[in-house]
Amino acid sequence: MRAPVSLDAKIGRGGLDRALCKVVDVSLHGARIQTYSEVRANSMIWLALPNVGHVAARVVWSNDFEAGLEFQTSLTREAFETLTA
């Protein structure tokens, strides 16, 4: 179940938030983001989500300035509802 959203978030590695991005849809297991800098497929990132915190994710696909992420640990129902409210 994917839900369309428009959330400002940050991408980071090693606990440092490095780049702004926009989350355009989210599910319990992943998200699609628009980025302002390129992210590589198969890389691991931290996604800082508003009111939820940092989530570890693998970049499943990436083209131009958009990417699909798979969360290492699924979001809780509460976190999903917070993001989609």
Quote the pLDDT of residue 37. 83
pLDDT digits (tens, 9 = 90+) for 25-51: 999 999 999 998 888 999 999 999 999
CATH code of residue 55: 2.40.10.220
pLDDT digits (tens, 9 = 90+) for 56-72: 999 999 998 999 999 99
Residue 70 is assigned to a structural domain of this protein:
yes
State phi, psi for 64 to the nearest 5 degrees: 50, -110
**Which residues are bridge partners to 19 per DSSP?**
11
Give the residue numbers spanning the domain of 55: 3-77
Residue 58 is assigned to a structural domain of this protein:
yes
Residue 83 is assigned to a structural domain of this protein:
no
Q: What total of structural domains would you count in the chain?
A: 1
Residue 35 is assigned to a structural domain of this protein:
yes
Residue 29 is assigned to a structural domain of this protein:
yes
Quote the pLDDT of residue 15. 56
Residue 11 is assigned to a structural domain of this protein:
yes
User: Rounded to whole angstroms, how far apart are CA atoms 84 and 63?
Assistant: 25
pLDDT digits (tens, 9 = 90+) for 10-31: 998 765 668 899 999 999 999 9
Alpha helices in the chain (DSSP H): 77-84
